Copies of this chain bind each other. A is one copy, B any other.
Amino acid sequence: MNKIILLNRRPEGKPTLDDFKFAEEEIPALSEGNVLLKTLYVSVDPYLRGRMADAKSYVPPFELGKPVQSAVVAEVLESNRDSFSKGDFVTGLLDWKEYQVVEGKGLNKVDAHAADLSAYLGILGMTGLTAYFGLTEIGRPKEGETLVVSGAAGAVGSVVGQIGKIFGCKVIGIAGSDEKIEQLQSKFKFDAGINYKTTKDMTKAVADAAPDGVDIYFDNVGGEVSDAVLANINNLGRVPVCGAISSYNDTEVSLGPRLQPIIVKNSVLMQGFIVSNYGAKFPEGIKQLTKWLQEGKLTYTETVVNGFDQIPQAFIDLFDGKNNGKMVVKV
């Protein structure tokens, strides 16, 4: 039988296991013009929380009683399409199913020799591209500038900081445990790190770490952490707004200091984005990231959870910061 995971109800606040439902169906038979895929790795990402809500957003919401979808690495078991052969590895936005039959549309072949397969869900996938385009297109780093990254130990944040170093920035990471801070500095070569969970005065901590002020703030979290960084933003500062994980589970609108006075006073640019805004440039981004990875200028951490049944829990754990780098589930 083929295990599948459906959206059982729309989460209120933090998602729980009851929001998901496990089911079984027959393993589908290959049909004309299609390919049969076996799921190998499943990506769990904070943005999926948005698609679980029934709200206007940049992508339509998941339907209740239907499979959840995310980025997946799969193996082609059988193919009725010329463009794919048995044994190919592919990535695509696919259902949370062990096996599925799909058209080839939207599937991309990946090279199992150039990198580990799970990397195509992370540093060579959406998270790496998110870091790359957010920082280069919006942040526009210049040598000698100060870059602050929140959610710095996450899949996107750790890549942002490393790219900042490649551009010659001073890089300060904000994360939620001393282990993560230690890793930012030892593994990812950040210049400094701040543990927001143990720091009382975050505004002062950022000011101390960034005595010349903050030129670029790559914002993955929103909330009070961002208030503290923005209080230190320099004139003509740039703020790629990539995520607001601190608010995703809010059931009421959360309040914070109004940003307009800071934005006006310092001619600050804030630009929200999703990676698909830069879709036309993906090949350029993947090429650059692969080159840096091969040159040893980029490294990555991933949290690999084992077992198809663990997908919902792995997703929930994102909101408690239990991942270290990209969180993927090995099926």
Contacts of A273 in B (CB 8 A): 264, 267
A271 at the interface (CB under 8 A from B): yes
Contact A264:B277 (CB < 8 A) given known A255-B255, A255-B258, A258-B255 = no
Interface pick from A4-12, A238-246, A309-317? A238-246
Number of copies: 2
Distance of A166 from chain B, by nearest CB (Å): 25
Residue numbers in B under 8 Å from A260 (CB-CB)? 219, 222-223, 226, 241, 244, 247, 272
Q: Say whether A263 faces chain B, with CB atoms less than 8 Å apart.
A: yes
B50 lies within 8 A of A265 (CB): yes
Quick check: A266 and B255 within 8 Å, CB to CB?
no
The reply to whether A58 and B269 contact each other, CB–CB distance below 8 Å, is no
CB-based contact A253/B244 at 8 Å: no
Number of interface residues of A (CB under 8 A): 38
B270:A269 contact, CB within 8 angstroms: yes
Alpha-carbon distance between A260 and B241 when the two chains are bound, in angstroms: 7
A254 to B242, CA, bound (A): 25
**Cα distance A37–B196 when bound, in Å?**
57
A270 and B270 contact, Cβ closer than 8 Å, known pairs A258-B222, A259-B259: yes
Chain B positions within 8 Å of A248 at CB level: 261
Contact of A242 among B247, B261, B264 (CB under 8 A): B264
How far is B247's CA from A253's CA once the two chains are assembled, in angstroms? 21
CA of A17 to CA of B322, assembled, Å: 58
How far apart are the CA atoms of A222 and B253 in the complex, in Å? 18
Smallest Cβ-Cβ distance to A250: which chain B residue:
B261
Does A274 sit at the interface, judged by CB under 8 A? yes
Residues in chain B near residue A272, CB distance under 8 A: 260, 262-269
Q: CB of A251 within 8 A of chain B? A: no
Q: Answer whether A222 and B274 are a contact pair too, CB < 8 Å, given A58-B267, A235-B58.
A: no
Contact status B274-A267, CB under 8 Å? yes
Q: Is the CB of B244 within 8 A of A258?
A: yes
Contact (Cβ within 8 A) A265 B222? no
Give the shortest distance, in Å, between A149 (CB) and chain B (any CB): 15
A244 touches B256 (CB 8 A): no
Contact A264 B243 (CB under 8 A): yes
Q: Cβ of A268: which chain B residues have Cβ within 8 Å of it?
A: 270-272
Contact A241/B263 with A58-B235, A269-B271, A270-B270 known, Cβ cut-off 8 Å: yes
Report how far A244 CA is from B254 CA in the complex, Å. 21
Closest B residue, CB atoms, query A237: B272
Q: Report if A255-B257 is in contact (Cβ < 8 Å); known contacts: A244-B264, A263-B272, A268-B272.
A: yes
A265 CA to B264 CA in the complex, in Å?
Answer: 22
A277 touches B269 (CB 8 A): no
Q: Sorted from nearest, which 8 A-B pairs have the closest CB atoms?
A: A222-B260, A263-B272, A244-B260, A270-B270, A264-B272, A256-B258, A255-B255, A253-B257
